[in-house]
Amino acid sequence: MWRQRIVKLSADVTFADPVTSHDLAEAEHSLGGPLPEALVEILYETDGVTGQYGLGLIWPLARIVSDNLLFRTNAAFHDLYMPFDPLLFFADAGNGDQFAFLWTPRRDEIYAWDHENDSRTWVAGSLGQYLQWWLDGTLKL
Protein backbone atom coordinates (compact mmCIF):
# COMPACT_ATOMS: atom_id res chain seq x y z
CA MET A 1 0.00 0.00 0.00
CA TRP A 2 2.63 2.57 1.05
CA ARG A 3 5.08 1.65 -1.70
CA GLN A 4 2.40 2.08 -4.36
CA ARG A 5 1.27 5.35 -2.84
CA ILE A 6 4.83 6.72 -2.74
CA VAL A 7 5.62 5.64 -6.31
CA LYS A 8 2.51 7.52 -7.49
CA LEU A 9 3.97 10.65 -5.88
CA SER A 10 7.48 10.17 -7.27
CA ALA A 11 9.08 7.62 -9.55
CA ASP A 12 12.51 8.71 -8.28
CA VAL A 13 12.50 6.67 -5.05
CA THR A 14 14.16 3.48 -3.94
CA PHE A 15 13.00 0.98 -1.34
CA ALA A 16 14.82 -1.42 0.95
CA ASP A 17 13.82 -4.85 2.22
CA PRO A 18 11.17 -4.63 4.95
CA VAL A 19 11.95 -4.89 8.66
CA THR A 20 11.02 -7.94 10.70
CA SER A 21 8.76 -8.04 13.74
CA HIS A 22 11.85 -8.83 15.81
CA ASP A 23 13.68 -5.74 14.48
CA LEU A 24 10.69 -3.57 15.25
CA ALA A 25 10.28 -4.96 18.78
CA GLU A 26 13.97 -4.32 19.54
CA ALA A 27 13.72 -0.77 18.19
CA GLU A 28 10.63 0.02 20.23
CA HIS A 29 12.30 -1.39 23.34
CA SER A 30 15.39 0.77 22.72
CA LEU A 31 13.31 3.89 22.18
CA GLY A 32 11.00 3.22 25.11
CA GLY A 33 7.68 2.93 23.34
CA PRO A 34 5.79 1.98 20.21
CA LEU A 35 6.45 3.71 16.92
CA PRO A 36 3.58 5.53 15.22
CA GLU A 37 1.28 3.13 13.37
CA ALA A 38 1.81 4.67 9.92
CA LEU A 39 5.59 4.50 10.32
CA VAL A 40 5.35 0.84 11.36
CA GLU A 41 3.22 0.12 8.27
CA ILE A 42 5.84 1.66 5.99
CA LEU A 43 8.72 -0.14 7.72
CA TYR A 44 6.93 -3.48 7.27
CA GLU A 45 6.91 -2.74 3.53
CA THR A 46 10.36 -1.16 3.25
CA ASP A 47 13.16 -0.38 5.68
CA GLY A 48 13.46 3.19 4.49
CA VAL A 49 12.62 5.22 1.42
CA THR A 50 15.34 7.10 -0.40
CA GLY A 51 14.42 9.96 -2.70
CA GLN A 52 16.20 11.95 -5.37
CA TYR A 53 19.88 12.73 -4.59
CA GLY A 54 19.86 10.22 -1.71
CA LEU A 55 17.35 12.17 0.36
CA GLY A 56 16.12 10.23 3.39
CA LEU A 57 12.35 10.44 2.90
CA ILE A 58 11.91 7.72 5.53
CA TRP A 59 15.04 6.58 7.32
CA PRO A 60 15.89 2.92 7.85
CA LEU A 61 14.85 1.65 11.27
CA ALA A 62 18.45 1.47 12.49
CA ARG A 63 18.94 5.18 11.77
CA ILE A 64 15.63 6.08 13.40
CA VAL A 65 16.83 4.37 16.57
CA SER A 66 20.44 5.61 16.50
CA ASP A 67 19.65 9.25 15.68
CA ASN A 68 16.86 9.51 18.25
CA LEU A 69 19.01 7.95 20.98
CA LEU A 70 21.89 10.26 20.08
CA PHE A 71 19.74 13.38 20.21
CA ARG A 72 18.16 12.33 23.51
CA THR A 73 21.41 11.39 25.27
CA ASN A 74 24.15 13.67 23.88
CA ALA A 75 25.20 15.87 26.80
CA ALA A 76 26.36 18.68 24.50
CA PHE A 77 22.89 18.91 22.97
CA HIS A 78 21.36 19.57 26.41
CA ASP A 79 23.09 22.96 26.47
CA LEU A 80 22.39 23.83 22.83
CA TYR A 81 18.78 22.74 22.23
CA MET A 82 15.41 22.27 23.83
CA PRO A 83 14.80 18.64 24.89
CA PHE A 84 14.38 16.12 22.08
CA ASP A 85 12.36 13.64 24.14
CA PRO A 86 9.03 14.94 22.72
CA LEU A 87 10.14 14.18 19.13
CA LEU A 88 10.69 11.01 17.11
CA PHE A 89 12.89 11.82 14.12
CA PHE A 90 12.34 9.70 11.01
CA ALA A 91 13.50 11.72 7.97
CA ASP A 92 15.65 14.64 6.90
CA ALA A 93 15.26 17.55 4.53
CA GLY A 94 18.79 17.25 3.13
CA ASN A 95 19.85 20.60 4.63
CA GLY A 96 20.36 19.60 8.27
CA ASP A 97 16.70 20.02 9.20
CA GLN A 98 14.79 16.92 10.19
CA PHE A 99 11.22 15.67 10.28
CA ALA A 100 9.69 14.15 13.40
CA PHE A 101 6.50 12.82 14.87
CA LEU A 102 5.35 14.34 18.12
CA TRP A 103 6.35 11.51 20.46
CA THR A 104 5.10 13.03 23.73
CA PRO A 105 2.16 13.40 23.73
CA ARG A 106 1.74 10.88 20.91
CA ARG A 107 0.29 12.36 17.77
CA ASP A 108 0.40 11.52 14.09
CA GLU A 109 1.35 15.09 13.20
CA ILE A 110 4.70 15.84 11.59
CA TYR A 111 7.01 18.64 12.67
CA ALA A 112 10.16 20.05 11.12
CA TRP A 113 13.10 20.70 13.41
CA ASP A 114 15.32 23.55 12.23
CA HIS A 115 18.91 22.75 13.18
CA GLU A 116 19.99 26.40 13.04
CA ASN A 117 17.48 27.94 15.46
CA ASP A 118 16.04 24.84 17.21
CA SER A 119 12.48 25.69 16.15
CA ARG A 120 9.91 22.94 15.82
CA THR A 121 7.22 23.76 13.26
CA TRP A 122 4.09 21.82 12.34
CA VAL A 123 4.30 20.81 8.67
CA ALA A 124 1.72 18.03 8.12
CA GLY A 125 -1.17 16.31 9.84
CA SER A 126 -0.02 12.78 8.99
CA LEU A 127 2.80 10.76 7.48
CA GLY A 128 0.89 10.42 4.22
CA GLN A 129 0.36 14.17 4.02
CA TYR A 130 4.06 14.80 4.76
CA LEU A 131 5.08 12.49 1.90
CA GLN A 132 2.60 14.04 -0.51
CA TRP A 133 3.47 17.65 0.34
CA TRP A 134 7.23 17.02 0.48
CA LEU A 135 7.30 15.19 -2.85
CA ASP A 136 4.96 17.55 -4.69
CA GLY A 137 6.75 20.68 -3.43
CA THR A 138 3.93 22.02 -1.27
CA LEU A 139 6.15 21.65 1.80
CA LYS A 140 9.24 23.82 1.66
CA LEU A 141 11.90 24.41 4.29
pLDDT score, position 115: 93
Asked whether residue 103 is domain-assigned, the answer is: yes
pLDDT score, position 70: 96
Asked whether residue 49 is domain-assigned, the answer is: yes
Asked whether residue 14 is domain-assigned, the answer is: yes
Question: CA-to-CA distance for 29 and 12, rounded, in angstroms?
Answer: 33
Task: Convert the pLDDT of each residue in 65-89 to its tens digit.
Answer: 999 999 999 999 988 999 999 999 9
Asked whether residue 82 is domain-assigned, the answer is: yes
Find the domain containing 29 and state its range. Answer: 2-136
94-101, long-range: CB < 8 A, 24+ apart = 94/53, 94/55, 94/56, 95/141, 97/141, 98/67, 99/123, 99/130, 99/134, 101/36, 101/39, 101/127
Asked whether residue 38 is domain-assigned, the answer is: yes
pLDDT score, position 4: 94
Asked whether residue 141 is domain-assigned, the answer is: no
The number of distinct structural domains making up the chain is 1
Asked whether residue 7 is domain-assigned, the answer is: yes
- Mean pLDDT, the chain, integer: 94
Confidence at 106, pLDDT banded by 50, 70, 90: confident
128-135, long-range: CB < 8 A, 24+ apart = 128/5, 128/38, 130/91, 130/99, 131/5, 131/6, 131/9, 131/57, 132/9, 134/57, 134/99, 135/6, 135/9, 135/10, 135/51, 135/57
CATH number at residue 125: 3.40.1580.10
Confidence at 42, pLDDT banded by 50, 70, 90: very high
